[in-house]
Chains A and B, each alone.
Chain A
């Protein structure tokens, strides 16, 4: 645990990527093999099952720190991170321990089945043996969400430096369904077994947003166009007589979408499809709000399958006849894919994202304008000769989204942010006019520059009306233009409207609050 906490401290002590990579590579060269596996797992968001809920953790930390509960909560709201708050308020440790990371993680995993009494005794004992960084790391492992500025890409670079293995190959090895409890470093990194490879998806290839003028992409005949569907990016894998559905968050979601079970009989073994899962009620694409219902559900009832069915809109073929097609040009992959999907008939849950060619950019722009009626977010632009790369590479695939919806709303509530924005009021609630009153319609966290954030933060601190724990209501004085991608009627929202990806477009310092839009203006944007 000491070495791992030291690593986290080292990663935390620099903003420079090269130094982070060096610190990680150094760790991977010197740490015990099992600790390395757990380090890779934790930094790629794999963690043992949470053995206690955060309510109990807070309670125990409060007891050990000998402070009232309200004071712990106030501290938490200001620090903005639970693991960090607990590490900070606890009294200095009385002991120390040489336990390895693996031992600590195994102990956490084993706690799940223990009594609350034993859980508490164990966690309190560790708290009293760990220094600040060990406590912080320990709390992070328990509570999850290990975000410390180390991306998967950075980690694979470090692993590459430490082992001499190609980083693309490492990225492939690290995807998929491996279990840090049972796999060895040798199996995972050095020589992965065939069995694990069966379920393993390819790293997703991502598109860049079009920057500047779209014409600058050059000769339009080099590009293939598709609509950009707004669902969940997914790979569906058919290997060894079974199938796997992976979402882009590297989550195995096969059980959540039983619709695709029937594809097993239609698609030959040794096939990997890349596409978008979308809701498809009544034979047309539903909004993302509907898909949310499916994403959140653990038990997929028969009724849900009827009201919220899903389909896969396939747009790429990554493996065919057991062969990796990623180095085959896109145009050829699509020919194979089109043939495969078209042969499956009308009633399967497999659809095709049709490709389009345009003679000039004006035609393409006109099609982009039709995106909303086609229930897409805009256009995808892919080079016909593009390979299927790893991650986000420049110059191959582009997304050309439609301009977002925008509306002018009034800032009404603010809350302190988390992480990098801890102790700054950066999480805002916005409202629109309805019958002379302001009605909340969206929350937004992003879109302002750091300088603007500071300015708003300082204004909020001086113009607070009421405090509700971490939330402050503020004078309805400032108008912001809020942009969002999608809009749908919703019974779950007070305003009756759900918006997708709301964010601050700009601060309308030129507008007075009574010049903000009304709820009726917003509702008028909902598609028929």
Chain B
């Protein structure tokens, strides 16, 4: 029996009777991070990194949760579980699972770039590496973060000098805080959508974000002129957006690599800024584990695992999961 198996509920450790990021209700589940396709509602017991506790409680309400520190070992029926930074969003963890000398690592979602917000990714040696590969295509190659933020800053500054409001769409958990943390707040006032505002209040004490104001209907249109509004992608077509006057829209996402993805969403501008690993970083991560076996869970899994088999000689396969994958057009809050 393998240490971890994929069943209809999620990734399961039979020896410990514990699930990882289960997509159906289970009695006991280790959760890698707070995005809704990984942290689902209704488990009996949650085990997650301490940073995640306020996030998950904010999103799912009251629940029974045990917090772990980085590298802290949880022993269940002889199986050692520990959490290691995944660098995806604040609190995101890889799960290391060890039993009788055999080590598996499940990444959840991750990136190698240091975003200045969350604890950076740490490679963990293992025999079997269960990895995401959302951007597992050589077409994806991220620029250094500072270059992207220079672009965002100059876009905002130019809009501001033309009295145009800058609307920047990014996921409320992770991307929004990353934007707030790294954008040049001296350019002008920053407003955030309520979803982001509430999350910031729930989690952001520890993150030293610049000043931001809750965007609500009582704010005068004239006040918003030239400001930066950070909002989740789902609100792009909301009625209030049309009411805020002269504006230009942009999204910050790895998908903005494709001209087609931006045009389809009728955005003015796309910034290639992702909380996932690009092609080279995925390969770097796989190699750093020293693993022999790879299981690709979501993203361009067939392509990525074929490359690992044929070019790197690894024993690579794919497993179907309920984690969001081909999500260019997805506007809900996941990934």
Please report A residues at the B interface, Cβ cutoff 8 Å: 12-16, 65, 67-68, 70-72, 74-75, 78-81, 84-85, 88-89, 92, 149, 417-424, 450, 454, 461
The answer to whether B326 and A84 have CB atoms under 8 Å apart is no
Contacts of A88 in B (CB 8 A): 138-141, 257
Distance to closest chain B CB from A98 (angstroms):
21
Task: Decide: A424 and B269 in contact? CB cutoff 8 A.
Answer: no
Q: Between A and B, how many residue pairs show CB distances below 8 Å?
A: 74
Which A residue's beta carbon lies closest to that of B250?
A13
When A420-B264, A421-B264 are in contact, do A461 and B259 touch as well, CB less than 8 Å?
Answer: no
Q: Which residues of B have CB within 8 Å of A418?
A: 260
Contact of B259 among A84, A417, A424 (CB under 8 A): A84
List B240-296 residues whose CB lies under 8 Å from chain A: 248, 257-261, 263-264, 266-269
Q: Which of A13, A14, A65, A422 contacts B138 (CB 8 A)?
A: A65
Residues on B with C-beta less than 8 A from A68 are 307, 310-311
Q: Please list 18 pairs of residues, one from A and one from B, whose beta carbons are closer than 8 Å in the complex, sorted by A's number.
A: A71-B307, A74-B300, A75-B137, A78-B137, A78-B139, A78-B300, A79-B139, A79-B258, A84-B258, A88-B257, A89-B139, A417-B260, A418-B260, A422-B260, A422-B261, A424-B328, A424-B329, A450-B264
Q: Which residues from chain B contact A420 at a C-beta distance below 8 Å?
A: 260, 263-264
Q: Which residues of B contact A75 (CB under 8 A)?
A: 137-139
Q: Does B235 contact A (CB under 8 A)?
A: no
In the complex, what's the smallest C-beta–C-beta distance from B117 to chain A, in angstroms?
A: 25
A150 to B250, CA, bound (A): 20
Tell me which of B137, B141, B310 contacts A74 (CB under 8 A).
Answer: B137
Provide the main secondary structure of the chain A interface: helix
Name the A residues within 8 Å of B267 (CB-CB): 15
Asked if B75 lies at the interface with its beta carbon under 8 angstroms from chain A, I say: no
Query: Do A74 and B303 touch across chains, with their CB atoms under 8 A apart?
Result: yes
How many B residues are at the interface, by size bracket? 20 to 34
Contacts of B326 in A (CB 8 A): 423, 461
- Cβ contact within 8 Å between B263 and A67: no
Q: Closest A-chain residue to B311, C-beta based?
A: A68
Q: Which residues of A contact B310 (CB under 8 A)?
A: 68
B273 → chain A, closest Cβ, in Å? Answer: 15
A85:B139 contact, CB within 8 angstroms? yes
| Alpha-carbon distance A13/B262, docked complex (angstroms) | 10
Are B258 and A422 in contact, with the CB atoms below 8 A?
A: yes
Contact partners of A16 in chain B: CB under 8 A: 248, 268
Contact of A12 among B140, B259, B307, B311 (CB under 8 A): B259
CA distance A15 to B270 in the complex (A): 12
Whole-angstrom distance between the Cβ of A312 and the nearest chain B Cβ: 39
The answer to whether B259 touches A71 (Cβ under 8 A) is no
Q: How far in angstroms is the closest Cβ of chain B from A278?
A: 36
Q: Which of B266, B268, B300, B303 contacts A13 (CB 8 A)?
A: B268
Task: Find out whether the CB atom of A419 lies under 8 angstroms from the CB atom of B137.
Answer: no
Chain A residues, CB < 8 A from B263: 149, 419-420
Residues in B whose Cβ lies below 8 Å from that of A15: 266-268
Interface residues of B in 203-234 (CB under 8 A from A): none
Q: How far is the CB of B9 from chain A (nearest CB, A)?
A: 19
- CB contacts (< 8 Å) of B264 on chain A: these are 420-421, 424, 450
List A contacts of B248 (CB < 8 A): 14, 16
With contacts A16-B248, A88-B139, A420-B264 known, what are 11 further pairs, Cβ within 8 A? A65-B138, A75-B139, A79-B139, A80-B258, A84-B259, A85-B139, A419-B259, A422-B258, A423-B328, A424-B328, A450-B264
- Most chain B CB neighbours (cut-off 10 Å) among A71, A85, A89, A418: A71
A348 to B266, CA, bound (A): 52
Per the bound structure, the CA–CA distance linking A70 and B309 in Å amounts to: 13
- CB contacts (< 8 Å) of A84 on chain B: these are 258-259
